[in-house]
């Protein structure tokens, strides 16, 4: 994220480079020893903005940083003078004064004026940030523990929906393999939007509070379960922009990135076309009767994508917060109860209901997998029709 | 810490005035003496500081490099939660209650606190609360992994460690409320004749306002966690949309407590610094009256700014604007205080013993934390920085530098009065400089991490954050190790050292310096004569 984009490889306007330069200079001055280090890993300011709003935020931050820097230098120049010249060891005798109404009024009024001056750009920027009216397309992002679901509500892609899951392999996280360039900031299916279009994001969550954040757009909004929030952006440059969940949401909070691909209008149209075809092809025949081995094979995929984070690939779970399924009462008990807990979840625990996220076939497959994997060799087949029958019970 | 001195110094006196006096452990369990209780508060807070500090080193250790190396993400979340709860409720707050217990009666010429037995009880509530918090790590499911903010619905998902945390918060709240009632009553009723409120030492003023903040805000936290408890176990839905509630309601309630809490921690720190800087400038505190007004203004405004912690939760635009302006307002009285301290130094006769060094360290670092707070007050910028390491850096500059450095300033300032011995100046200065340098190595780079977009509360991070995290971890370990020095300094001063005069600092004024060092077990059994000309020193 900061990596690729802020390395200034993309030839942006001079204004933006100036912007980087000024804050860079200031921050480098503050840090002293790190001045002149141009490595991307030493980023010391906000990521390069790619929306008009993010540029305003960037400029506002630069302005504020200068203001506080100057105040700090001014105030401590006085203190430093005093520390150097008003020392007892130099024989300085203490003066006796302890009140002065004029200076006290001055140092109340002057900061007030400074505050009013910076309140003006702060207010106008904020008003612009909150104006979600007249979007070109609307996308709903739903936070799940621990992935994002995207659903295109309006626009050409209306109806397209999918999950977006961390793509970084486990081996890289556990230091068993070298880390890739976008370590922890890569997903299997990014959100795709057209360049230059006003995108309104609707945010909600299915379990706990998450936060959908993309620094390059200056977008950060909580996804609150049971409520819809909205925000917006209009990216004016093609590229891949990365952010992360920004509200502690449980054990894999650090592992649910947000990736947005901004593409040209043509590419976007092609992507929409592809998505629609894919969805049509992937639609399951609800009356199909499945055999055990094909069901279990599909179930394993569903399990890996949805269940393995908590219940673990070996079915042992991480007890007691995340119970094991291998040999468990539910996975070896009556299948109705097993289906119910998968569809509706278990209140008061991290077990979410998957009824809304997964189709009948996927639920049938994953329950069949859980009842036949590891030591749970029940040999049971569960058909999509049975799942459909359990819904609403 | 005081046991031997008191026994030696005050043995006869005690026997005369109070007959039998328990010794050994029972002395500490049953004591109603403000000095004993003050010492217990300080020792308790230091132990909790070490426990919370060890947890922070687990956090920083895990963040040494990208990838998961030492702990699981669940345990990492538990550590960051307990670190914060223990530091806020176990270390910083009790430290300043300890100072209040020791110093307020001596500053106002009172024989003891107003409610001496309640004072004992409010201290002895703390260890059970601390045990509940620490024990929550060992119950099934582990401690709460929600962050100290305990936001539902995540906190609803937690195991029984969450319930232990809720009870610990209840007990800590009771202790704080009793402590506050005691301090307020003592200050309002037990001042020496002639010491009007506006002649009172500033530390007492900061505690008077803090006491009211505590009484007003702790019950709100207790209410919030009780609602969590009933949501968890008794089928209520205060914070669940499915039952007609709202998760964000909890955040409003929590921060209505949480923001005044910041000033509960900061105000007594301001008080300590307002004694140390004049003493080592050999000058009166500049602008005493405006200091008092600034303290009161900060205390009052602190109740009207809570939602600046919630800019990204979806509060309406008008709400964001109001909270932004109200938050900016706090900068004015805070600025007044900083200007007053610096003007106190101006044309003084400065010397730089350890208490003064820590007070100056406080001044520099707290100002940095205050200025980044101004950046964060701007809603548009805060939306970029919310929940990033910029916020972590900001509040550690305010909390560690603001509260801890000023607590150290107070410790070195009053240690001669408590022990009767001067501390080792060289070790004290070493402690200051190593703390100052390592603190900045640990926390300054976190501003950059936050600006570049690194979220807080994550156990693993993308590779472009690696270098600053490494630096930060090195600084954190250096800072942690430096804190052990203070233990050496205190033990040396308790055991011996140069004899301290009743007024070991030539610039210090006030009733507390009129009694011998170490302070006798009982002081001011008769109200002292108060010279108004000595006020505000």
If you write DSSP's letter for every residue of B419-452 in order, what string do you get? HSB---HHHHHHHHHHHHHHHHHHHHHHHHHHHH
Q: How far apart are the first and last CA of chain A?
A: 46
Beta strands A147-152 and A210-214, pairing class? unpaired
CB contact (8 A) between residue A94 and residue B342 = no
Does pLDDT of A288 surpass 50? yes
At a CB cut-off of 8 Å and minimum separation 6, what does A287 contact?
A384, A385
CB half-sphere exposure, A37, CA atoms < 13 A: 16
Q: A122: helix, coil or strand? A: helix
Looking at the complex, report in whole angstroms how far the Cα of residue B200 sits from the nearest Cα belonging to chain A. 16
Cα-to-chain-centroid distance, residue B211 = 13
Residue A386 in domain? yes
Sign of CA dihedral A357, A359, A360, A363: negative
Domain boundary at A68, A94, A129, which?
A: A129
Q: Which of B284-288, B295-299, B528-532 has the lowest mean pLDDT?
A: B528-532
Domain boundary at A112, A129, A146, which?
A: A129
* The two three-digit tokens of residue A248, written as one number: 């502690």
Going from the C-alpha of B169 to that of each of A306, B163, B177, B229, B403, the distances in angstroms are 36, 10, 12, 12, 21
pLDDT value at residue A22: 53
* The two three-digit tokens of residue A390, written as one number: 């359990």
Q: Do A149 and A269 share a structural domain?
A: yes
Residue pLDDT, tens place only, A372-388: 888 888 888 888 888 88
The Cα angle at residue B356 between residues B351 and B358, in degrees rounded to 5: 145
CB pairs below 8 Å between A and B: how many? 307
**Residue that the structure tokens 């940030």 belong to:** A129
Q: B370: helix, coil or strand? A: helix
Could you tell me which residue, A385 or B179, shows the higher pLDDT?
Answer: B179
* The two three-digit tokens of residue A264, written as one number: 């040209």
As a whole number, mean pLDDT of residues B258-285 equals: 95
pLDDT value at residue A318: 83
* B261 classed as catalytic: yes
Q: Do A248 and A197 share a structural domain?
A: yes
Does pLDDT of B415 surpass 80? yes
B contacts of A123 (beta carbons < 8 Å)? 321, 324
pLDDT value at residue A27: 52
Residue A349 in domain? yes
**Residue that the structure tokens 């509706």 belong to:** A344
Q: How far apart are the first and last CA of chain B?
A: 28
pLDDT value at residue B10: 42
At a CB cut-off of 8 Å and minimum separation 6, what does B485 contact?
B427, B430, B431, B434
Per-residue pLDDT band at A41 (split at 50, 70, 90): low
Q: Do A341 and A260 share a structural domain?
A: no
Does pLDDT of A26 surpass 70? no
For chain B, the residue count is 537
Residue A81 in domain? yes
CB contact (8 A) between residue B467 and residue A71 = no
Per-residue pLDDT band at A37 (split at 50, 70, 90): very low
Does pLDDT of B351 surpass 70? yes
CB half-sphere exposure, A158, CA atoms < 13 A: 7
Cβ(B90)–Cβ(B52) below 8 Å: yes
* B501 classed as catalytic: no
Beta strands A257-263 and A191-194, pairing class? parallel
Q: Do A203 and A180 share a structural domain?
A: yes
Per-residue pLDDT band at A3 (split at 50, 70, 90): very low
Does pLDDT of A355 surpass 50? yes
Sign of CA dihedral B214, B216, B217, B221: positive
- pTM score: 0.88
Per-residue pLDDT band at B418 (split at 50, 70, 90): very high
Q: What's the CA gap between B352 and B332, in Å, rounded?
A: 29
Q: Do A253 and A185 share a structural domain?
A: yes
CB contact (8 A) between residue B455 and residue A213 = yes
CB contact (8 A) between residue B368 and residue A72 = yes
Q: Do A184 and A55 share a structural domain?
A: no
* The two three-digit tokens of residue B84, written as one number: 């914060």
Query: Would you call A228 exposed, middle or buried from its count of C-beta atoms within 10 A (0-12, 13-18, 19+)?
Result: exposed
CATH value at residue A357: 1.10.760.10
The Cα angle at residue A153 between residues A150 and A156, in degrees rounded to 5: 105
Picking from B99, B95, B97, the residue whose alpha carbon sits closest to that of residue B86 is B95
Instruction: Write out the H or E segment, with its range, that includes residue A143.
Output: strand A137-144
Residue pLDDT, tens place only, B73-116: 999 999 999 999 999 999 999 999 999 999 999 999 999 999 99
A contacts of B387 (beta carbons < 8 Å)? 211, 213, 220, 246-247
Question: What are the extents of the domains in chain B?
Answer: 3-534
Residue A379 in domain? yes
Sign of CA dihedral B37, B41, B47, B51: positive
Per-residue pLDDT band at A6 (split at 50, 70, 90): very low
Instruction: Write out the H or E segment, with its range, that includes residue A244.
Output: strand A239-244
Choosing among B340, B350, B446, which should be mutated to test the A contact, i.e. which has the most A CBs within 10 A? Answer: B350
Residue pLDDT, tens place only, B28-46: 999 999 999 999 999 999 9
pLDDT value at residue A255: 96
CB contact (8 A) between residue B314 and residue A227 = yes
B contacts of A229 (beta carbons < 8 Å)? 313-314
Q: Which of A204-218, A279-293, B459-473 has the lowest mean pLDDT?
A: A279-293
Q: What's the CA gap between A263 and A182, in Å, rounded?
A: 19
pLDDT value at residue A99: 84
Does pLDDT of A39 surpass 70? no
* B309 classed as catalytic: yes
Closest residue on chain B to A318 (Cα): B141
B contacts of A246 (beta carbons < 8 Å)? 312, 386-388, 455
Q: Among the residues of A307-383, which ranges form H helices?
A: 308-311, 329-332, 335-344, 360-372
Closest residue on chain A to B380 (Cα): A126
Kindly provide the ipTM of the predicted complex, given to two decimals.
0.91
A contacts of B343 (beta carbons < 8 Å)? 103
Q: Do A277 and A144 share a structural domain?
A: yes
As a whole number, mean pLDDT of residues B161-190 equals: 96
As a whole number, mean pLDDT of residues A39-50 equals: 80
Looking at the complex, report in whole angstroms how far the Cα of residue A106 sits from the nearest Cα belonging to chain B. 10
Q: What's the CA gap between A367 and A378, in Å, rounded?
A: 11
CB contact (8 A) between residue A44 and residue B457 = no
Picking from B267, B319, B326, B265, the residue whose alpha carbon sits closest to that of residue B296 is B267
Catalytic site residue from B45, B56, B136, B175: B175
Q: What's the CA gap between B320 and B311, in Å, rounded?
A: 6
Cis peptide, bond prior to residue A146, ω within 30 of zero: yes
CATH value at residue A159: 2.60.40.420
Cβ(A263)–Cβ(A194) below 8 Å: yes
Choosing among A32, A85, A122, A168, which should be mutated to test the B contact, i.e. which has the most B CBs within 10 A? Answer: A122
Q: Do A46 and A169 share a structural domain?
A: no
Percent of chain A scored above 90 by pLDDT?
54
Q: What's the CA gap between A288 and A302, in Å, rounded?
A: 18
Percent of chain A scored above 70 by pLDDT?
90
Q: What's the CA gap between B220 and B37, in Å, rounded?
A: 27
Residue A27 neighbours by CB distance under 10 Å: 20
Q: What's the CA gap between B372 and B360, in Å, rounded?
A: 19
Q: Which of A273-287, B204-218, B380-394, B508-522 has the lowest mean pLDDT?
A: A273-287
Range of the domain at A86: 2-129
Percent of chain B scored above 90 by pLDDT?
90
A contacts of B294 (beta carbons < 8 Å)? none
Beta strands A229-233 and A219-223, pairing class? unpaired
A contacts of B147 (beta carbons < 8 Å)? 248
Q: B24: helix, coil or strand? A: coil
Could you tell me which residue, B490 or A380, shows the higher pLDDT?
Answer: B490
Q: What's the CA gap between B242 and A170, in Å, rounded?
A: 35
Report the DSSP beta bridge partners of residue B99.
none
B contacts of A254 (beta carbons < 8 Å)? 73, 455, 457-461
* B83 classed as catalytic: yes
Picking from B415, B445, B421, the residue whose alpha carbon sits closest to that of residue B501 is B421
* The two three-digit tokens of residue A375, written as one number: 């030591």
CB contact (8 A) between residue B320 and residue A207 = no
pLDDT value at residue A1: 36
At a CB cut-off of 8 Å and minimum separation 6, what does B292 contact?
B198, B202, B205
Residue A162 in domain? yes
Does pLDDT of B141 surpass 90? no
CB half-sphere exposure, A391, CA atoms < 13 A: 16
Q: Which of A2-6, A386-390, B121-125 has the lowest mean pLDDT?
A: A2-6
Average pLDDT, chain B: 93
CB contact (8 A) between residue B384 and residue A348 = no
Residue A287 in domain? no
Q: Do A264 and A308 share a structural domain?
A: no
Looking at the complex, report in whole angstroms how far the Cα of residue A129 sits from the nearest Cα belonging to chain B. 8
Cβ(A52)–Cβ(A234) below 8 Å: yes
Looking at the complex, report in whole angstroms how far the Cα of residue B292 sits from the nearest Cα belonging to chain A. 13
Cβ(B2)–Cβ(B513) below 8 Å: no
Sign of CA dihedral B164, B166, B169, B171: negative
* B148 classed as catalytic: yes
Pick the CATH number of B3-534 from 1.20.210.10, 3.40.50.620, 3.90.190.10, 3.90.1150.10: 1.20.210.10
Looking at the complex, report in whole angstroms how far the Cα of residue B114 sits from the nearest Cα belonging to chain A. 32
CB half-sphere exposure, A274, CA atoms < 13 A: 7
From the list A2, A75, A208, the residue facing B452 with the nearest CB is A2
Number of domains in chain A: 3
At a CB cut-off of 8 Å and minimum separation 6, what does A232 contact?
A131, A132, A135, A198, A199, A200, A201, A219
């Amino acid at each position: 994220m900061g990596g690729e984009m802020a390395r200034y490889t993309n030839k942006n306007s001079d204004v933006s480079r100036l912007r980087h330069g000024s804050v860079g200079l200031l921050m480098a001055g503050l840090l002293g020893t790190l001045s002149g280090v141009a490595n991307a890993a030493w980023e010391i300011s906000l990521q390069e903005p790619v929306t008009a709003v993010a540029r305003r935020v960037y400029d506002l931050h630069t302005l504020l940083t200068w203001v506080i820097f100057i105040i700090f230098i001014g105030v401590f120049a006085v203190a430093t003078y005093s520390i150097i010249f008003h020392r007892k060891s130099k024989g300085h005798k203490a003066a006796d004064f302890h009140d002065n109404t004029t200076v006290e009024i001055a140092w109340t009024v002057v900061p007030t004026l400074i505050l009013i001056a910076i309140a003006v750009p702060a207010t106008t920027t904020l008003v612009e940030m909150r104006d979600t009216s007249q979007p070109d397309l609307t996308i709903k992002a739903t936070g799940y523990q621990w992935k994002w679901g995207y659903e295109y509500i309006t626009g050409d892609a209306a109806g397209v929906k999918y999950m977006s899951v961390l793509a970084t392999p486990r081996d890289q996280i556990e230091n068993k393999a070298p880390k890739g360039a976008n370590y922890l900031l890569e997903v299997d299916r990014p959100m795709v939007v057209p360049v230059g279009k006003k995108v309104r994001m609707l945010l909600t969550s299915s379990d706990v509070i998450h936060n959908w954040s993309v620094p390059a757009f200056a977008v950060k909004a909580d996804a609150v379960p049971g409520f819809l929030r909205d925000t917006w952006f209009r990216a004016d440059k093609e590229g891949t922009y990365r952010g992360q969940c920004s509200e502690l949401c449980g054990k894999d909070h650090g592992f649910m990135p947000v990736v947005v691909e901004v593409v040209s209008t043509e590419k976007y149209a092609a992507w929409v076309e592809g998505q629609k075809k894919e969805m049509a092809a992937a639609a399951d025949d609800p009356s199909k009767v499945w055999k055990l081995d094909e069901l279990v094979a599909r179930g394993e995929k569903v399990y890996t994508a949805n269940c393995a984070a908590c219940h673990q690939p070996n079915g042992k779970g991480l007890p007691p917060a995340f119970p094991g399924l291998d040999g468990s009462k539910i996975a070896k008990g009556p299948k109705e109860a097993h289906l119910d807990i998968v569809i509706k979840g278990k209140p008061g625990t991290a077990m979410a209901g998957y009824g809304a996220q997964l189709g009948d076939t996927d639920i049938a497959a994953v329950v069949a997998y859980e009842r036949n994997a590891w030591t749970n060799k029940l040999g049971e087949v569960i058909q999509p029709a049975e799942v459909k029958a359990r819904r609403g019970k | 810490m005081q046991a031997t001195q008191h026994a030696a110094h005050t043995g006869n006196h005690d026997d005369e005035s109070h007959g039998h006096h328990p010794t050994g452990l029972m002395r500490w369990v049953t004591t109603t003496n403000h000095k004993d209780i003050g010492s217990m508060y300080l020792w308790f807070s230091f132990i909790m500081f070490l426990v919370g500090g060890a947890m922070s080193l687990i956090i920083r250790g895990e963040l040494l490099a990208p990838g998961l190396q030492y702990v699981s993400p669940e345990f990492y979340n538990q550590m960051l939660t307990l670190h914060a709860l223990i530091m806020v409720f176990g270390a910083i707050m009790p430290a300043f209650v300890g100072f209040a217990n020791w110093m307020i009666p001596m500053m106002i010429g009172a024989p003891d606190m107003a409610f001496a037995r309640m004072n004992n009880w409010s201290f002895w509530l703390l260890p059970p609360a601390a045990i509940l918090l620490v024990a929550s790590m060992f119950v099934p499911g582990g401690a709460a992994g929600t962050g100290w903010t305990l936001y539902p619905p995540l906190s609803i998902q937690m195991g029984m460690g969450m319930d232990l945390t809720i009870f610990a918060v209840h007990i800590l709240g009771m202790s704080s409320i009793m402590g506050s009632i005691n301090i307020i009553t003592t200050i309002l009723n037990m001042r020496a004749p002639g010491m009007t409120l506006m002649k009172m030492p500033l530390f007492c003023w900061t505690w008077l306002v803090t006491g009211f903040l505590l009484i007003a805000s702790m019950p709100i936290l207790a209410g919030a966690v009780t609602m969590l408890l009933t949501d968890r176990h008794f089928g209520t839905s205060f914070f669940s949309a499915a039952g007609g509630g709202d998760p964000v309601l909890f955040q409003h309630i929590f921060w209505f407590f949480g923001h005044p809490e910041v000033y509960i921690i900061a105000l007594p720190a301001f008080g300590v610094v307002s004694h140390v800087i004049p003493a080592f400038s050999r000058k009166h505190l500049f602008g005493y009256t405006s200091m008092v007004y600034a303290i009161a203004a900060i205390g009052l405004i602190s109740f009207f700014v809570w939602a600046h912690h919630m800019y990204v939760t979806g509060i309406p635009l008008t709400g964001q604007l109001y909270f932004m302006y109200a938050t900016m307002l706090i900068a004015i009285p805070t600025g007044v205080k900083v200007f007053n301290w610096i003007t106190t130094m101006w044309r003084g006769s400065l010397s730089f013993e350890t208490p003064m060094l820590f007070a100056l360290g406080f001044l520099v670092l707290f100002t940095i934390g205050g200025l980044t707070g101004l950046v964060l007050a701007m809603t548009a910028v805060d939306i970029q920085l919310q929940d990033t390491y910029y916020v972590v850096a900001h509040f550690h500059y305010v909390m560690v530098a603001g509260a801890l450095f000023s607590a150290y300033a107070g410790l070195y300032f009053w240690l001669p009065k408590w022990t009767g011995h001067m501390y080792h100046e060289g070790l004290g200065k070493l402690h200051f400089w190593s703390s100052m340098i390592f603190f900045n190595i640990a926390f300054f780079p976190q501003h950059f991490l936050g600006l570049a977009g690194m979220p807080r509360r994550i156990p693993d991070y993308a590779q472009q954050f690696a270098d600053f995290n490494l630096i930060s971890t090195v600084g954190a370990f250096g800072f942690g190790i430096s804190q052990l020095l203070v233990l050496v300094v205190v033990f040396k001063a308790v055991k011996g050292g140069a004899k301290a005069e009743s007024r070991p600092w030539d610039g210090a004024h006030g009733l507390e310096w009129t009694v011998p060092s170490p302070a006798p077990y009982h002081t001011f059994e008769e109200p002292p004569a108060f010279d108004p000309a000595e006020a505000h020193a």
